[in-house]
Amino acid sequence: MTSAAFDVERIRKDFPILSRELPGGRPLVYLDSGNSSQKPAQVIETMREHFAQHYSNVGRAMHALGSESTEAFETARDKLADFIGAPSRDEVVFTKNASEGLNLVAYAFGNPAGEDPRFRMGPGDEIVISEMEHHSNIVPWQLLARRTGATLRWFPVTDEGRLDLSGIGDLVNERTKIVSIAHQSNVLGTVNPVAAVLARAREVGALMMLDASQSVPHHPVDVAALGVDFVAFTGHKMVGPSGIGVLWGRGELLEAMPPFLGGGEMIEAVWMDHSTYAPPPHKFEAGTPPIVEAIGLGAAADYLTSVGLEAVEAHERELTAYALDALREVPTLRVIGPGDTHERGATVSFTLDGIHPHDVGQILDDAFGIAVRVGHHCARPLHLRFGIPATTRASFYLYNTTSEIDALVRGLHHVQKVFS
């Protein structure tokens, strides 16, 4: 049951793909938005229209189309800044995805071209992540540790799928230069206690980054209120296009960081033997940016704002409660992650005894057109921690319904019949 104010059927009409029929006459039941969300006509149409009527390069072009594109692109930056409560639009860096944003920050450390002591890194220094991270918030820090000789450490995860803060005093210490954790886990659904971790990071003078790939699309996120230093997220999970992401960083830190990619647009002046750099955000946007993708992401932010992030969150909480309840009836099903909706989002991962998630996913898709994700969801260490090679994950978004969850439960019963 969804609340009266939130008209999910009307919302579904905005997403053309949801009325699609799959081969074999199967309806589409899309429960894989944690992987990537679908796009409303408003986003698709904004992009089409821009390509067809207003496109040109941005920043550098002084003609009519150049102004139209630049205006649309920079307005998208304003929209994204508003969307996340950024104190300044200049703190919004467009990247190609969340992964680039995470790497960008990682490459700022231990770079001889940078002078700020907060970004110095070498043997003895420490980086702290967690065991529930997406590979995109693990590998960049492994590579950084490898480049600099620093040590990578991590928070463990409790059996319930929460961040284990019991050892935080030792884990985050004076050697810690940065702590980077997920705002919300893409497997467990867990929403992490940012304030507690941040308090400790501040005590020891460490910077803190949030991988907000799974939170920004689903809850109102206010970067200023969060109080962290960096936040990365990605367009394609928030009803926006592929090819675009955002790195938000405190203006003062973005100023202090060395450039990452070099090229057009990120410079102030170039001589053959040296260059000076543009102020942020342009300093970090080398080359022609994903212009129409940023504009599409602006339309996505508008769309989510018009629906209302609070409404989206409430709808997802209802779906999650409904799903946790309904899934309990499936024999041998075990949810990996918190069992109730307290501090958790609309992502439900689970195992079924003796049936591999690949088979679960395939049969759900083949037989019923139900799209879930199966595997380790780019969070292999988390699966290792739970001693399982893979899970099946259903993730919900504003366009999902309780009857789709019913379909999932029916599908799972069928899967069990096939393998019984």
Partner 1 sequence: MITESMYQELILEHYKHPQGRGLREPFDAEVHHVNPTCGDEITMRVKLGDGGKVEDVSYDGQGCSISQAAASVLYELASGSSVEETLGVVDEFTRLLQGRGQVEPDEDVLGDAVAFAGVAKYPARVKCALLAWMAYKDALVRSTA
Ligand X SMILES: Cc1ncc(COP(=O)(O)O)c(C=O)c1O
What does 278 bind: a second copy, partner 1, ligand X, none (CB cut-off 5 to 8 Å by kind)?
partner 1
Q: Which helix (H) or strand (E) holds 83?
A: helix 64-83
187 is catalytic: no
Active-site annotation holder among 232, 301, 378, 390:
378
Asked whether position 190 contacts ligand X by CB under 6 A, the answer is: no
Structure tokens at 79: 């929209």
Please answer whether residues 391 and 382 qualify as being in contact, where contact means their C-beta atoms are separated by less than 8 angstroms: no
Strand, helix or coil for residue 189:
coil
Is 287 a binding residue for ligand X by CB under 6 A? The answer is yes
CB of 3 to a second copy, least distance (A): 28
Q: Which residues contact 59 (CB under 8 A, 6 or more apart)?
A: 70, 265, 282
Do 284 and 260 contact (CB within 8 A), yes or no? yes
Q: Are 416 and 359 in contact (CB under 8 A)?
A: no
Site for partner 1 contains 332 (CB under 8 A): no
362 interacts with partner 1 by CB under 8 A? yes
Closest CA to 138 of 119, 122, 153: 153
144-152, 166-174, 218-226, 357-365 -> range binding partner 1 (CB under 8 A): 357-365
Select from partner 1, a second copy, ligand X, none the partner in contact with residue 211, using the beta carbon and a kind-dependent cut-off of 5 to 8 Å.
ligand X
Residue of 136, 176, 180, 392 that binds ligand X (CB under 6 A): 136
Q: Which stretch binds ligand X (CB under 6 A): 211-219, 275-283, 336-344, 401-409?
A: 211-219
Stretch 245-274: interaction string toward ligand X, x if CB under 6 A: x-----------------xx----------
DSSP for 312-345, please give it: HHHHHHHHHHHHHHHHTTSTT-EEES-SSSTTB-
Residue 390 as a binder of partner 1 (CB under 8 A): the answer is yes
Q: Which is nearer to ligand X, 43 or 412 (CB)?
A: 43
Q: Are 371 and 31 in contact (CB under 8 A)?
A: yes
Nearer to ligand X, 234 or 320 (CB): 234
- Going residue by residue from 271 to 290, which x/- string records binding to partner 1, judged by CB under 8 A? -----x-x------------
C-alpha span between 110 and 403 (Å, rounded): 52
Catalytically active residues, by annotation: 378
